[in-house]
Structure 1
Amino acid sequence: MHSTRAFEGIENLFGKDGFGKIRKAHILIVGLGGVGSWVAESLVRSGVEQISLMDMDEICVSNINRQVHADSESIGKAKVEAMKTRLLTINPELKCHLYFEFYSQKTAHTILEEKYDFIVDAIDSVKNKALLLDTAVKNNIPILCIGGSGARLDPTKITINDLNKSINDKLLKQLKRRLRRDYSFSKFKEKKFNIPTVFSTELPLENNEMEECELKTNRIKNCQSGLGSASFVTASFGFTAVSYILRRVSEREL
């Protein structure tokens, strides 16, 4: 592969030194759904040469509307495997590590076994989301939190701010409550969490169904129901996240 030519636009954008840091970064994405899959795609198209993917879900037909690795040929496949297959067509030299498991108390040790330059939290479960954030913060691993992308239509309302500043997001509201209650985060609502978070200020549409897919078993998500969602929003969440991460990794001014 002509890797130099493939990513010369990124190098021109960030400069030689900045792009060198991007190439060497190792980034872990936890959750390969409507946002996490686009994060993986954009990172690799931006020249990142090593990523780790964690998810235990399988692709189903209802994922096609918003997940980049979902298509008629990938239905039934593990998301991590389908994502790796796609990413290797972009950069055959990519180092892509797979963890076919959900992040939980039982698997929390996984992120401490490798050195990551950044972690992307794209988990739907409040309990496991809080655990991941707490683990990363305690171990000084840079992490970016992703809020809810369902039931929204306007990608221009997506922003990044401290988790404490998030609004109009039930997932993040519950997350903040759990972090204050179960972990060593300040109970003063005015104090920052120091966790950068991608969220939308748009009010979620009313009369939507359940909040994301509930776990049908401990392994596979129920694909029969969930919030209304569209790729033009979920992808925008992912691209916003990658913009932040690459600027941090390359040490460009934010």
Structure 2
Amino acid sequence: MVVPSSEPSWTRSWTTFTAGVAVASSAITLISILGFQRFNRQRRRHELEDDIKDAMRKARNSSDNNDEQAKSLDRKSTKPHEAFRYDESLIREQLSRNYSFLGEESMQKLRDSFVIVVGAGGVGSWCALMLLRSGVGRLRLIDFDQVSLSSLNRHACANLADVGRPKVQVCKEHFANIAPWCDVDARVEIFRGSEAKRLLGPAKADPSKKLPQMQPTYVVDCIDNMDTKVDLLAFCYHNKIPCFSSMGAGAKADPSQIQVADLNTTSEDPLARRVRRGLRAKGIWGGDAEQAAKEADRAEQMSEKPYTIMCVYTNEKSDMRLLPLDEEEFQKGSVDELAALEDFRVRILPVLGPLPAMFGLAAATFIICEISGRQLETLPWKARRKTAERTWHELENTERKYPSPGSKLTAAEQGFGPRRIPWTAEDVAYVFEEVYRCRSVVPPHETLALGRLLRWDSTLPLSYSNVALFSREQGAVHEREVLKNGRSPVEVWGEEATRMFKRRMADERRMNVLR
């Protein structure tokens, strides 16, 4: 039975009408508000554009009206030594912290030195700047390139006003504001092996500044082109000019992996490896450790210091690649024509600004100490070789003692037989330091000076995908419970350690292709 509504029909119609009017009013209000906000945004944008144009117009007018005054101020700011005599007392006060650190005799060596920096980009500009600030008396900067907007994320001196200007000229002008007593020779030239004798030759005498002719005290290689880098190092080697080389800082981000070492002792750096090959192709020991040892023996017999090429490099594995070119560039023809110069790369390598600066500062620090006589005994990555060799021998002995299933070990091999693992001490160092970051796989993942590498799963053979780092105490437990008794590592160490193991193995797979 249907109960008729007591409410009149006209009341229901009125209610519906009122609701419709309310919804329509709300919509109209919302549209009005949004429209008003849009109008305000457009008005503010136009006002801002007008303000910018007006400011630029005023700046141009001001620049035109005061052109001579601006030029005069610029000359005074970039050449303060022409405006007044920067005497010895001021120089010594400016370098007082260096004098306190190095001493009188060492500082005099530094001030009497002549350093050539080849490459004035992210690495070279910072290196040259700190050599200047530390008291080096003469500098020669060599670079053909100009400042670009993208240079400003890493260059030591350049600013917006310098875009389009030669990098070496920008450095020279900036340096004059810091150390007007330093003689800076800026060469807007590309370094080529055929021009090495001229470009790396002695500084000319300048009687007006009481500067004698001087052979280079040090050469700094900050070149990012492979062929010219090798040419420079080869020239320095043959002419016995002390040289420091910078490897690649592009596409790197981890400052804790930056090292200073002899070029022969670097590890896990593809660019350093290529440089050694290039030097070996020129008959230079720089790419052959055995030949380097022979060279050192000959130098020792002749009471000479063996020639070494020190470098700054990093062990970091980066999966960054050269930035791709637009497809339309390939359609236009040979992309090699886009290179700034023949044999130079076309595409751009991503660079995190602080890393080139760190490379340059490391280079400058080493050179300052070398020239001043405060020679450093650097601790390169391979200085930990004894630790790596010890870990390697322990791993090898464990593999003999507890071989993986399916492998056959004769009685003669037990304990003293042929080497059973296909790894070198360098491979062990790679797993210990780069894959595991010197941290135990077991929580709380303590940092280890000494540790043990062992197979994670006893049922699988040793490989880069089946190895874990433990503390020595944890290693004894793992050897007894997992390798000897056959227990599951998950059962022994738990889920968190297992997750860390899988994470480290994923890192290793990524890094291994970059070795």
1:42 partnered with 2:130 = yes
Partner of 2:357: 235
227-236 or 80-89: which moved more?
A: 227-236
Instruction: Say how many residue pairs are matched.
Output: 249
Matched residues in 1 for 2:115 and 2:265: separation? 25
Partner of 1:164: 264
1:28 partnered with 2:142 = no
**Bigger Rg over Cα:** 2
User: Does structure 2 conserve the Cα–Cα contact (< 8 Å) formed by 1:18 and 1:251?
Assistant: yes
What are the superposed Cα offsets for residues 92-125 of structure 1, whole Å, 9 maximum, x if unpaired? 1220012211111332122134410000011111
Which residue, out of 206, 214, 217, partners 2:319? 206
What are the superposed Cα offsets for residues 117-147 of structure 1, whole Å, 9 maximum, x if unpaired? 0000111111111111111111111000110
Equivalent runs, 1:188-203 vs 2, <5 Å? 188-192=288-292, 194-203=308-317
Partner of 1:64: 152
User: Does structure 1 conserve the Cα–Cα contact (< 8 Å) formed by 2:264 and 2:288?
Assistant: no
Matched residues in 2 for 1:195 and 1:143: separation? 6
* Equivalent residue letter for 2:185: H
Partner SS, residue 245 of structure 2 = strand
* Equivalent residue letter for 1:198: V
Matched residues in 2 for 1:183 and 1:63: separation? 36
Partner of 1:216: 339
User: Does structure 2 conserve the Cα–Cα contact (< 8 Å) formed by 1:169 and 1:199?
Assistant: yes
User: Does structure 1 conserve the Cα–Cα contact (< 8 Å) formed by 2:264 and 2:286?
Assistant: no
User: Does structure 1 conserve the Cα–Cα contact (< 8 Å) formed by 2:251 and 2:320?
Assistant: no
Partner of 1:103: 191
Matched residues in 1 for 2:131 and 2:288: separation? 35
Matched residues in 1 for 2:314 and 2:255: separation? 8
Matched residues in 2 for 1:35 and 1:101: separation? 18
* Equivalent residue letter for 1:34: G
Partner of 2:236: 136
User: Does structure 1 conserve the Cα–Cα contact (< 8 Å) formed by 2:249 and 2:355?
Assistant: yes
Which residue, out of 349, 368, 379, partners 1:246? 368
Gaps of 5+ in 1: none
Partner SS, residue 77 of structure 1 = coil
Partner of 2:103: 15
Post-superposition offset of 1:231:
2.8
Matched residues in 2 for 1:33 and 1:228: separation? 14
Question: Quick check: which one's helix share is greater?
Answer: 2
User: Does structure 2 conserve the Cα–Cα contact (< 8 Å) formed by 1:60 and 1:70?
Assistant: no
30-39 or 68-77: which moved more?
A: 68-77
Partner of 1:226: 348
Distance 1:76-1:187 versus aligned 2 partners, 3 A rule: closer
What is the TM-score with the length of structure 2 in the denominator?
A: 0.46
1:126 partnered with 2:248 = no
* Equivalent residue letter for 1:100: V
Matched residues in 2 for 1:154 and 1:187: separation? 26
What is the TM-score with the length of structure 1 in the denominator?
A: 0.90
* Equivalent residue letter for 1:208: R
1:82 partnered with 2:167 = no
* Equivalent residue letter for 2:261: N
What are the superposed Cα offsets for residues 40-82 of structure 1, whole Å, 9 maximum, x if unpaired? 1101111112100001111101111111122201100001100
Post-superposition offset of 1:181:
1.4
User: Does structure 1 conserve the Cα–Cα contact (< 8 Å) formed by 2:98 and 2:107?
Assistant: yes
Question: Quick check: which one's strand share is greater?
Answer: 1
What are the superposed Cα offsets for residues 156-176 of structure 1, whole Å, 9 maximum, x if unpaired? 211111112223333222111
Distance 1:186-1:98 versus aligned 2 partners, 3 A rule: closer
* Equivalent residue letter for 1:216: A
In the TM superposition, structure 1's runs of 4+ consecutive aligned residues that sit over 4 Å from their partners are: none
Post-superposition offset of 1:217:
3.0
What are the superposed Cα offsets for residues 147-196 of structure 1, whole Å, 9 maximum, x if unpaired? 00011112221111111222333322211111111333366444448211
1:181 partnered with 2:281 = yes
Equivalent runs, 1:144-155 vs 2, <5 Å? 144-155=244-255
* Equivalent residue letter for 2:315: T
Partner SS, residue 141 of structure 2 = strand
Post-superposition offset of 1:4:
1.6
* Equivalent residue letter for 2:95: F
Matched residues in 2 for 1:109 and 1:134: separation? 12
Identity %: 28
Partner of 1:93: 181
Matched residues in 1 for 2:366 and 2:314: separation? 15
Partner SS, residue 260 of structure 2 = strand
